[in-house]
Structure 1
Amino acid sequence: MSESKDGGDHEDGEVNMAAWILGVKNLSIQPYPLPLLGPNDVKVRIKAVGICGSDVHYYKTMRCANFIADKPMVLGHECAGIIEQVGSEVKSLAVGDRVALEPGISCQRCNFCKNGRYNLCRSMKFFGSASNNGSLANKVVHPAKLCFKLPENVSLEEGAMCEPLSVGIHACRRANIGADTSVSIIGAGTIGLVVLLAARAFGASKIVIADVDDGRLSIAKDLGANEIVQVSTSIQDLEQDVMKIQNAMGCGIDVSFDCVGYNKTMSTALDATCPGGKVCLVGLAQTEMTVPLTLAAVREVDVIGIFRYRDTWPLCIELLRTGKIDIKPLITHRFGFSQKELEQAFETSAQGGNAIKIMFNL
């Protein structure tokens, strides 16, 4: 099957459409020509796409941290769909298979890739990031090895949620969460909640989650947090908030996850963690911070970071299949794929409020 210049398939005359970011708060559903199908690629009809915080950053500013969209770009990277075509060398997948897509294509040649840390590849081509087109489209072409078949009891929406869940899985692996680990989580947004779900699945002995929003805290409680703590945004309340978190835990905090990434949240995590413990920085709200590192260092508190994930999709899918993780409650809003709904969905996500995960159904 050959591709037409407008992105449509000659066979059925259908034009492939996608959600483009053209400028600040300027979204448009326009034709998206697909690349030719390579021998190791598959063509996927996308059925579910979630909005990530990084998508919202591009929507608001045309950049996310140091990743800049210097030209129009298709957004989206949390996705799942149905295989429509397979390349000549693809044996693992067939037309009609339901798949979740891992959105980053690494070079497979650099030392990071060769040593298994492909998420750190400097030549990574990631859906909807730094002018790499994303997956909020009718169809995409993607390497077959980055498409993971979904069991019958895992929905396409759950498949799309494997992407944010992967962040939680990778964070818990980096921090070595296990059955004897007491965990505090700062931030009850989407990422804080997936860290909570992952930590529970990894067997953490007790989980305390802190946030400024009591609505999000109630969701965290429903998802299995042992204790919830409402904290302040003010650095003046740091000592009081640390004491609240420590009292809620009732024992030493082995690992703290900062799922926000501000001076206040990182300082809270560092001060709350017991000597010999770990702080994992997951949220990246600020590129530079002023935090009490020296005081943490003399207590031998290790600071670790994460960037995206690696080798997580099979475990995510297995945890969803077995019911060890129920990701569905995180999906709070659903939209179709029209110009009006596209704009409504991104405005809803940008406003925050009670929106946890916004999902497009295509």
Structure 2
Amino acid sequence: MSHSNEDKNLSFVLEKAGVVYFEDRPIPELGPQDVLVNVKFTGICGSDVHYWSHGAIGDFVVREPMVLGHESAGIVAAVGEQVDRLQIGDRVALEPGIPCRSCTRCKDGQYNLCFHMAFAATPPIDGTLAKYFALPQDFCYKLGKDTTLQEGALVEPLSIAVHIVKQASIRPGQSLVIFGAGPIGLLCCAVAKAFGATRIVAVDINKTRLTFASQYAATHTFESRKVSAEEMAKDIISECELGHGADAAIDASGAEPCIQTAIHVLRTGGTYVQGGLGRPNINFPIGSLCNKELTIKGSFRYGSGDYELAIKLLKSKRVSVKELITSCYPFKEAERAFEGVKAVQGIKTLIQGPE
């Protein structure tokens, strides 16, 4: 597929920590199964901001210029010759990681753990903050007719929440405590509610976020206190009427005191899921883990069926995400949008375009 010289692909590029610029890049060539998406809205994630501020996350280091962004929705602009699921004009959410499809983990159905995953805006792979982005057709998901493209940009974080709540094995009637009322923690509240959890406690230090959580999907909120983890867990259990403890706890904060409190807040036989990234090593109440025979799980991005379920939850109105969108910046003001997210303004910030 060829493009004329007039075709431009304006992109928001990170050169190194703190240095970003706009650049016209070539429009991606399409393989037979690929679609070209004209990106309309992109959400900013904490990882994008971290690369912009620090130039690295763990072992992933920005060594050459990289396009940022991975939470996007847009309109199909062109299709490869074997594409049969989508057509030009379809409104789609983008799942921004392409697995190899042939390693053991991919064949296990755990493609999120693929040894050779090429994930957007994880060095050296370019992200979606561009006019055009190419993906295999099975990683583009048609939005419901009532789902806006802005909401479509939130399918990515919603899919992370779906994966985390699945990892927590939430069943109807269960209780759950979620530490951290940022976008992922809030979306976990909404997904848990859709899964039938009847007691959903959001824990945070930020009063504004907790007020939002109680209006959004939490049944109870709890403001973090400067007491021991055991004491705080006791307070949460008594104030939120959790009986012998919560059925499940999710940490979406990465903060050591939250992780410790989460272990203490669980009932015997409960399930703990780590969703947030914090320091690489923390002090952990391992005695509780054994005595209570807890199940402990990590959670990494999203796997088979998570995007489909996220889109179904939006379509059926079981989950709503529009309340989380607090601001939307034009493409040319992308850096200002990043500054806003770094300063923890609002909940979810979107960048529109480029048109």
In structure 1, the residue matched to 2:128 is: 135
Identify which of 49, 61, 72 aligns with 1:56.
49
Written as runs of structure 1 = structure 2, the 5 A alignment for 1:201-350 is 201-232=194-225, 234=226, 236-250=227-241, 251=243, 252-310=245-303, 311-338=305-332, 341-350=333-342
Q: Distance in 2 between matches of 1:69 and 1:194?
A: 29
Cα distance between partner residues in 1 of 2:59 and 2:293: 31
Match of 2:31 in 1: 38
TM-score by length of 2: 0.96
- CA drift of 1:347 comes to 0.4
One-letter amino acid of the counterpart of residue 328, structure 2: R
Contact 1:183 1:207 in 2 (8 A): yes
Which amino acid in the other structure matches residue 147 of structure 1? C
Runs of 4+ in 1 over 6 A off after TM superposition: none
Selected match of 1:68 from 61, 70, 75: 61
Aligned length, in residue pairs: 350
Aligned to 1:177, what secondary structure does the other structure show? coil
CA shift, 1:248, in A, is: 2.9
In structure 1, how many angstroms separate the alpha carbons of the residues matched to 2:320 and 2:273? 24
Measure, in 2, the Cα distance between the counterparts of 1:284 and 1:65: 11
How big is each residue's C-alpha offset from its partner over 1:50-76, in whole Å with a ceiling of 9 and x where there is no partner?
A: 000110110110112332222110000
Distance in 1 separating the partners of 2:236 and 2:279? 23
State the Cα distance separating 1:224 from its structure 2 match: 2.2
State the Cα distance separating 1:356 from its structure 2 match.
1.0
Residue 100, structure 1, aligned to residue 100, structure 2: no
Displacement of 1:36: 1.3
The 1-side partners of 2:350 and 2:28 are apart by 26
Check if 1:2 corresponds to 2:2.
yes
1:156 to 130, 135, 149: 149
**Structure-2 separation of matches of 1:52 and 1:300:** 34
The percent identity for this pair of structures is 37
Q: CA deviation at 1:269?
A: 0.4
User: What is the alpha-carbon distance in structure 1 between the residues aligned to residue 277 and residue 217 of structure 2?
Assistant: 25
Kindly provide the CA deviation profile for residues 262-307 of structure 1, in whole angstroms up to 9, marking residues without a partner as x. Answer: 2211101001111110111000122111111122221111111100
Deviation at residue 238 of structure 1 after TM alignment: 2.3
Secondary structure, aligned partner of 2:30? coil
Q: Structure 1 counterpart of 2:103, which letter? A: C
Task: Measure, in 1, the Cα distance between the counterparts of 2:286 and 2:56.
Answer: 29
Match of 1:358 in 2: 349
Check whether the contact 1:190–1:356 (CA below 8 A) recurs between aligned residues: yes
State the Cα distance separating 1:15 from its structure 2 match.
1.3
Contact 1:100 1:162 in 2 (8 A): yes
Counterpart-to-counterpart distance in 2, 1:66 and 1:268: 29
User: 2-side partners of 1:193 and 1:258: how far apart?
Assistant: 12
Contact 1:106 1:121 in 2 (8 A): yes
| Structure 1 contact 262–289 (Cα < 8 Å) conserved | no
Q: TM-score scaled by structure 1?
A: 0.94
CA offsets 1:139-189 (integer angstroms, 9 cap, x no match) = 111111100111210111111101000111011111111112110001101
* TM-superposed deviation, 1:27: 1.3
Mapped partners of 2:217, 2:190: distance in 1: 8
Structure 1 residue 260 displacement after superposition: 1.0
Deviation at 1:35, TM superposition (A): 3.0
Q: CA deviation at 1:201?
A: 0.7
Gaps of 5+ in 2: none
What are the Cα deviations for residues 231-270 of structure 1, in whole angstroms up to 9, with x where unaligned?
03x5x44233212211233123000001111221110100
Deviations 1:339-361 (A, max 9, x none): xx111100000111x42110011
* Structure 1 portions without partners, runs of 5+: 4-8
Give me the whole-angstrom Cα distance separating, in 2, the residues matched to 1:124 and 1:276.
34
